[in-house]
Structure 1
Amino acid sequence: MTKKTVSVCEEKVYEQLYHDHAEKIYRYLCYRYGDIEKAHDIVQDSFAKLWVNCSKVIFEAAKSFLYKVANNASLNEIRSQKTMLKYQATTQKTYTNESPEFQMEEKEFMDRLNRAISNLKDRQREVFLLSRMEKKTYREIAEILDISVKAVEKRMQLALLNLRKSIPNI
């Protein structure tokens, strides 16, 4: 069976799309907007809309459809709000060889870095986080955001310049 004859309305194809893209869209939304619960809800709503429109969406366009629906839903949710990113430590150290002074400096630096990332313009922040946290290539980011690779490069350049201004000696 070729991809051109694959129907998004087939349950196995739909499940495979969910398996391949749900977690990636969820992380994209979390990094972009900083709200874990809304990100989860929006992912579910996006896949529900894909199912409702499965006869209208060709297989090759399903990924783009999902990202656009998720992105538009997120923009509608936070149109008038400024989003602050929330980072959670993945593991907590029970003991460390670092001095208390080093630990305090490290915490202060991370706080400054998180604030600086939060203060980036939305477009710069999303490109920066997709590149640095998700390890996406510029080409992948361009596809996700439906922009040119040059636009991704420019946004990354501006993000890095703004971070360097916010945090000297970075």
Structure 2
Amino acid sequence: MPKELHENICSDTVFEQIYNKYSKDLNDFLFYKYGAALNPADKAQDAFIKLWDNCKKVSFSKAKSFLFTVANNLMLNEAKHQKVVLKYQKILPNNTTHETPEFLLEKEQYLERYKAVLESLKEEQRIAFLLNKVEGKKHSEIADMLGVTQKVVEYRIYSAFKILKTELENFSIK
């Protein structure tokens, strides 16, 4: 039995030769068989990645067969996945809530009052408060950002919180 020229295809030059020889054919095969909706170019690239991962196991003569089989299986898996996605898109999510219309209205009104009180705060208070409570920044980080001391930041946050608490009923932050 004659020995093959290349035992495996792990050499960069051999792999590049295989890529140059089969990449267009593989891409065309996938495109014509499955269409553009399932990203045939991506699956062709994934097949070459799998070939590279298994380069010690695949001989030069078996590379084409390996590539086309792997790419075809990847496309079949993608088609099966798309069927599942479509099936679950048909199922309408339950958009009902157990909240009363009065509660939803009160919630909306409270949010509007909250925004109005935030706008009425001094700019320094609002910035420090939002950086701390919304973005989760620490007092020292805010002090560095604003170029003030940590005590100044603490005072601005405390005074903003105090105003919000007096202007809005049942206002608290966790």
TM-score range with shorter-chain normalisation? 0.3 to 0.5
TM-score between the two structures when normalised by the length of structure 2 = 0.43
Q: Does 1 or 2 have the higher relative contact order (CA < 8 Å, sep 6+)?
A: 1
TM-score (norm 1): 0.44
Which has the higher Rg, Structure 1 or Structure 2? 2
